[in-house]
Amino acid sequence: MQAPLEIIQLGNPLLRVPAEALSAVQIETALPLLKSLEQIMLSHQGVGIAAPQVGEPLRAFIVASRPNDRYPHAPLMEPTIMINPELLWQSEEMEKDWEGCLSIPGIRAKINRYTHIRVRYLNVLGDVIETEFTGFIARIYQHELDHLNGIVFLDRADKLDIATEAEYRKVMGLD
């Protein structure tokens, strides 16, 4: 029996290891892990999670935007497992907005991200999906893609744009 997945925290060197692409055979083998990722993400009110966040250096993540206590204004989308994701194109326009991370609890930061992106990934059946994302969903995709490259959102933050969760909630009028 597999031990329950745990989200690793900033400071764990596994967060900084670039993830490896999955072959067709590996996709099938990794499916139980990828489906477990969704459960752990939902239980922590996340809107995305990458395999490296549970110590698995696989190029896969889930994007699952939906309103919750951490992100009350998030748009609703079906949780989507994205395997071997790529960023094909990005708009010139960028927007700085708040992000948090399940691997860095209690901290938020304003991060500059592209507002419109075109991406390619494999779904759980191994089908190639090419699509575009905008706004908050584009932000989640870029955040999770960073995890696959050993980057955390604080690496992209200006020190003046970092806040505790409590201060973020005050600024956003969530408390």
Q: Which of 38, 144, 165, 167 is catalytic?
A: 144
Task: Write out pLDDT tens, residues 101-145.
Answer: 999 999 999 999 999 999 999 999 999 999 999 999 999 999 999
Give the pTM.
Answer: 0.95
Q: Is residue 161 a contact partner of residue 109, using CB atoms and an 8 Å limit? A: yes
- What pLDDT does 59 receive? 98
Distance (Å) of CA 47 to CA 35, 39, 61, 143: 14, 11, 11, 11
Task: Write out pLDDT tens, residues 118-127.
Answer: 999 999 999 9
- In 3D, which of 94, 98, 51, 56 has the Cα closest to residue 74? 98
Whether 144 is a known active-site residue: answer: yes
Counted residue by residue, the chain has a size of: 175
Q: Is residue 88 a contact partner of residue 120, using CB atoms and an 8 Å limit? A: yes
Joined together, the tokens standing for residue 170 give 């005050």
- CB neighbours of 167 closer than 8 A, spacing ≥ 6? 108
> What percent of the chain stands above pLDDT 90?
89
- What pLDDT does 123 receive? 96
